[in-house]
Amino acid sequence: MFSVASCPAGGRGAWQRLAWALGLLACRALLPAGAAAQERPYLITYDRQLEEPGNLEIAVDPLLARQRGGGDFLAAAVELEYGVKAWWTTELYADGQATSGDGALATGWRWENRVRPLLHEHLVNPVLYVELEDITAADKTLLEVVGHDVEADHAASNRLARRDRQRELETKLILSSSLGDWDLSENLIAEKNLAGAPWEFGYAIGLARPLALAARPDACSFCRENFTAGIEMYGGLGDADGFGLRDTSHYLGPVIAWNLPGGTTLRLSPAFGLNGNSHRFLLRLGISYELPDLANRVRGGLPAGGAR
Amino acid sequence: MSGRWRPAAASPRPWPRRWPSAGAALALALCAAAALAAGCAAAGAGAGPGLDSVPASAPARARIDPDAGGPDAVAAGRKLFLRHCAECHGDDARGSRRGPAIASERVREASPGALFWFLTNGRLAAGMPGWSRLPAARRWQIIAYLQSGLPAADDEKGARDAGDAGDAGDDREARRSNLYTRR
């Protein structure tokens, strides 16, 4: 599917750096020193869970995609997610991509904030999401699919696409519910190019459940309680000038997450395009590691009770 | 959107490339409004002292631990506590600078239903996250562990031992004040 040899020298360097980063994170998974949060399994859909206050999560979310009419590509976002308060999480992304036969490049950054306006659990739990993006049209991370985003958008050469700078405001209404031990989350997306394009709309829906509900008394890594599996679907809903499903793309695929006791979470989601405008196949991966109590670590202190 | 490329010839109109001041102002206003909304909600919800914030009418108070007496509930609860809670409350549940002691008589004697409600909802305004992300069975296991007879930090020796383990006076103060669980 991908050939590193087909990439120009700059692309090969980027692939090597990405491989190093993934390798380091994978090795880090073996060291039991992080905070063991229970991470959401979804790679696109957000649920109501925020980062624990004071914790920093470092994540890499690579995406491998087949591309008709262009080179297959690997895109990735490096994420730094910090829990400012128990009800407020902020996150910084740096995006990049490597396209087979077309080199590699950084494609911009994003800054997102999520807040919970209701502090107790309800039948439906809303979270408000606001993100500022400064990316180029060469960005292929597909972290959201909105408006009339289609596969053909990604067929343009990097040389041309990188010239088109896009500064956008993205808002989401995240609705999340517990149905027994299932999580059901829906995201309604509205995105605006600040240079004047019409509002674009999209959606993401996820449904997931842990493979085992109760924990075993003994320590284990490869046991059912550490896995969460589900399904997610996402796509565009047109824009303010043409709301609906016409000329939109949609994806559906299973998701599985493996929460390791050391604070690392691995996620995997093969997604399949549901119509002719969609990529036929996307393979999403996610590796994240959570550092507890960042503020005190920076100040040189450690929790008296012992950080885990 | 990600990666949508608009060829100049096909664009209905050219998009300017600099930040429009109105757009930036709108973005900042939305961020501020979201933070303010959450802040107001936090201020309103932060008045209750820990377990006292559990609503008396909450059906959770009447819920019965489905795993009560289960042979592995306490051991599994300890594992879950060390994995998810000890980061803030300490390995021995006697608190740290990040969170108060929860090895206390108050917790031992509390209604399991009230503890379940509190663990599920958290107390976001005070920094305690809700743990609805854990399946109910695992929340019950944590409660079984907390009520299994941990040495209380609020007895004199426990407080002194816990104080010796720390290195700051405000840590001891935080433990003694038992923010989430004080009477």
Residue A55 has pLDDT above 70, yes or no: yes
pLDDT of residue A297: 77
Q: Which residues of A213-227 are buried (b: 16+ CB within 10 A; e: fewer)?
A: bbbebeeeeeeebbb
Cα–Cα distance measured from residue B112 to residue B63, given in angstroms and rounded to the nearest whole number: 8
Mutate to test the interface with B, among A46, A48, A56, A85 (most CBs of B within 10 A): A85
Query: B41 vs A35: CB contact, 8 Å cut-off?
Result: no
> Tokens for A139?
């960005």
* Mean pLDDT value across residues B115-121: 91
pLDDT surpassing 50 at residue B105: yes
Asked if B141's CB is within 8 angstroms of A169's CB, the reply is: no
Distance from the Cα of B137 to chain A's closest Cα (Å) equals 5
Q: Residue A123: pLDDT above 90? A: yes
Alpha-carbon gap: A19 to the closest alpha carbon of chain B (Å): 23
Pairing mode, if any, of strands A200-210 and A242-243? unpaired
Residue of B nearest to A216 (CA): B76
pTM: predicted TM-score of the whole model, two decimal places:
0.79
Give me chain A's average pLDDT, please.
Answer: 88
Map tokens 């979804």 to a residue: A42
- Is pLDDT at A284 greater than 90 in this prediction? yes
pLDDT tens per residue, range A161-220: 999 999 999 999 999 999 989 999 999 999 999 998 999 999 999 999 999 999 999 999
Contacts of A147 in chain B (CB under 8 A): 1, 4
Please state, for a pLDDT cut of 90, what percent of chain B lies above it.
28
Chain A residues close to B31, C-beta within 8 Å:
113, 130
| pLDDT value at residue A111 | 98
In chain B, what residues touch A182 (CB-CB under 8 Å)? none
Contact state of B132 with A171 under an 8 Å Cβ cutoff: no
Q: How many angstroms separate the CA atoms of B36 and A70, rounded? A: 46
Beta carbons of A215 and B20 less than 8 Å apart: no
Q: Is the pLDDT of residue B162 over 50?
A: no
Are A128 and B38 inside 8 Å of each other by CB? yes
What angle do the packed helices B136-146 and B73-80 form, to 10 degrees? 100
Q: pLDDT value at position B167?
A: 40
pLDDT at A23 over 80: no
10 Å CB burial of residue B156 (0-12, 13-18, 19+) is: exposed
Question: CB of B173 within 8 Å of any CB in chain A?
Answer: no
CA distance A165 to B97: 45
Q: Residue A16: pLDDT band by 50, 70, 90 thresholds?
A: low
Nearest CA in chain B to A307: B87
pLDDT of residue B180: 46
Q: Is B43 on the interface with A (CB under 8 A)?
A: no
- Which is nearest to A88 in space by CA: A37, A46, A48? A48
**Residue B58 near chain A (CB below 8 Å):** no
Longest CA–CA separation in chain A, Å = 58
The per-residue pLDDT for A253 is 98
Q: CA of A200: which chain B residue's CA is closest?
A: B1
Q: What count of CB pairs under 8 Å joins A to B? A: 230
Q: Give the closest-approach CA distance of B109 to chain A in angstroms.
A: 23
Q: What is the per-residue pLDDT for B44?
A: 38
* Chain A CB within 8 Å of residue B176 CB: no
3-state secondary structure of A167: strand
pLDDT value of residue A36:
57
The more confident residue out of A4 and A206 is: A206
Selected residue with higher pLDDT from A299 and B12: A299
A139 vs B3, B92, B130: nearest CB: B3
Distances (CA, A) of B53 to A119, A210, B46, B121: 12, 29, 9, 10
Is residue A287 scored above 50 in pLDDT? yes
| DSSP string over B45-78 | HTTS-GGGGS-TT-GGGG---TTTT-TTHHHHHH
B120 touches chain A (CB under 8 A): yes
Contacts of B132 in chain A (CB under 8 A): 48-49, 121, 178
CB contact under 8 A, B3 and A119: no
Residue of higher predicted confidence among B51 and A166: A166
B89–A contact, CB cutoff 8 A? yes
Q: B87, A128: Cβ pair inside 8 Å?
A: no
